[in-house]
Amino acid sequence: MAVPVGNVVAYVAVCAGPLVGFWLASKLPRLADALVDHYRSRRPVPEGPPIERIAADLRRVRLALERIPPRAPALRRRATEQAYDALLAQACRAVGEPQWLDTVPEGLEHEAERLRVEESLHRCGILR
């Protein structure tokens, strides 16, 4: 007596199907971890120094700016302000915050933009 091939295939599928299904389910966590690792490795590598170093430099230059005596040369104050603004802009780029310190002309608008950027970085936890 000959057994139809279709019946044999159906019998194997019914017997082996749950086994294969449970085996695949046991492999899903490892597959999910591999996919997550794959997509993490595709993230862009940050450019520039670490944010911790930028934050330390910001605090150091801010303190130097606050400690400039009133009768100090204007060139010294201006150079320190420019260094501070450059560090603020670098910190904003590192955390993805918008800033317009480079485009706003000197004066009251520039001071207001500096205060806005400082507050934004304070909310991000970079400035204290």
pLDDT of residue 37: 79
The pTM of the full predicted model, rounded to 2 decimals, is: 0.64
Structure-block tokens of residue 54 = 């930028």
pLDDT tens-digit readout, 56-84: 999 999 999 999 999 999 999 999 999 99
Q: Is 54 exposed, middle or buried (0-12, 13-18, 19+ CB in 10 A)?
A: buried
